[in-house]
């Protein structure tokens, strides 16, 4: 198996209060031990030539040894993408400023009020300030990620214009993931999260118009990280969700579970954020029974792809028509 990407969930701790996520509800959040990264993860990265590492959470800037973890990742030869809301970036910045190659900033609103409604904390101004500071004080690429939901879906144009003003290099629009095992959930998805994901008919109509405006405008500016086809699928997904219908694409195969590892704070790993199969990272993941079963079913079982990949919107840029995907 060919691995080229690792996702490190360095901590489950989070000080945002997002309506669509449960990490902040975990009473005893786990943190990844930096010794584990140095002694176990780094050798694996070198042996497999891992080129890309995404450091996530929870909120990764809450990890007291984030600088040590990032340094280990870079010394192993990988890029380092930090996925953050910036809440604790003040405390970690000097340790990581010359190490992070890419930032993915969560920004679920174009103003303080909307941001607060979506994320449950009043740090909009701080996040905006950090984006501006990162653009001038680092050489990292800055991207913004916005999860479309009932409180912010009417701000697509404003969010786009704000990113232009901030000189952001990439902007991604996401949709909610409501699977029971995702985003810190230990059981069923909260009804509040489901309600926050549902859009009214008039909101969907406006969103289609706004996306058309966005795509036309971006021919000049080029900051959108997604194609028209991918953004259209986002709208189709939100329509299905709001009409209580199951979303399903044509038979597609996503390369993320076949080429990536998601490593949890407790040392367990998964082939994808959104697949439940997991095993101990130290047990040669690609050869373990949990992973080989996923690989077999993804490649050979259309019903498995239908249940997981064809109903998922989180790694849409990594999907190919199932019969044509070639694996290294």
- CATH number, domain of 102, equals 3.20.20.70
Token pair 């409501």 in the structure block, residue: 178
Domain interval for residue 88 = 5-324
pLDDT of 111 over the 50 cut: yes
In the structure encoding, which two tokens stand for residue 203, read together?
């909101």
48-57, 240-249, 273-282: segment of lowest average pLDDT = 273-282
How confident is residue 146, by pLDDT bands cut at 50, 70 and 90? Answer: very high
Domain tally, the chain? 1
List, for residues 9-51, the tens digit of each pLDDT value: 999 999 999 999 999 999 999 999 999 999 999 999 999 999 9
For the segment 194-227, what is each residue's pLDDT rounded down to a tens digit? 999 999 999 999 999 999 999 999 999 999 999 9
In terms of DSSP bridges, do strands 79-84 and 52-56 run parallel, antiparallel, or are they unpaired? parallel
Return mean pLDDT, the chain: 92
Share of the chain above pLDDT 90, in %: 73
Residues 9 and 263 sit within 8 Å (Cβ to Cβ): yes
The CA distance from 82 to 60, in Å, is: 8
The 8 Å CB, 24+ separation contacts for 180-183 are: 181/274, 181/276, 182/273, 182/274, 183/20, 183/21, 183/22, 183/23
**270-290 tens-digit pLDDT:** 888 888 788 888 766 666 777
Distance (Å, rounded) from C-alpha 80 to C-alpha 68?
A: 12
């Amino acid at each position: 198996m060919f691995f080229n990407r690792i996702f490190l969930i360095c901590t489950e701790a989070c000080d945002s209060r997002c309506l669509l996520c449960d990490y902040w509800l975990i009473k005893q959040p786990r943190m990844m031990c930096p010794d584990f990264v140095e002694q176990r993860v780094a050798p694996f990265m070198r042996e497999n030539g891992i080129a890309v590492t995404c450091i996530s959470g929870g909120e990764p800037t809450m990890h007291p040894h984030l600088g040590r973890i990032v340094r280990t990742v870079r010394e192993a030869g990988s890029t380092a993408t930090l996925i953050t809301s910036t809440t604790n970036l003040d405390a970690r910045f000097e340790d990581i400023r010359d190490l992070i190659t890419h930032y993915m900033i969560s920004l679920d609103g174009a103003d303080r009020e909307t941001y607060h409604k979506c994320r449950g904390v009043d740090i909009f101004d701080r996040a905006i300030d950090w984006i501006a500071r990162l653009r001038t004080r680092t050489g990292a690429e800055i991207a913004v990620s916005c999860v479309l939901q009932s409180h912010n879906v009417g701000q697509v144009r404003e969010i786009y214009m704000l990113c232009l003003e901030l000189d952001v290099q990439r902007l991604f629009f996401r949709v909610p993931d409501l699977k029971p095992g995702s985003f810190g959930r230990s059981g069923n998805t909260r009804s509040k999260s489901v309600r926050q994901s549902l859009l009214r008919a008039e909101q969907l109509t406006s969103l289609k118009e706004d996306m058309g405006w966005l795509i036309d405008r971006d021919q000049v500016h080029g900051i959108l990280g997604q194609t028209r086809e991918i953004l259209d699928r986002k709208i189709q997904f939100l329509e299905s969700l709001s009409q209580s219908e199951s979303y399903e694409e044509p038979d597609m195969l996503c390369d993320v579970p076949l080429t990536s590892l998601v490593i949890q704070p407790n040392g367990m790993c998964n082939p994808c954020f959104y697949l439940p199969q997991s095993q101990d990272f130290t047990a040669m993941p690609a050869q373990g029974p949990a992973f080989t079963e996923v690989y077999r079913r993804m490649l050979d079982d259309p019903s498995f792809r239908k249940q997981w990949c064809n109903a998922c919107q989180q790694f849409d840029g990594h999907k190919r028509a199932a019969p044509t995907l070639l694996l290294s």
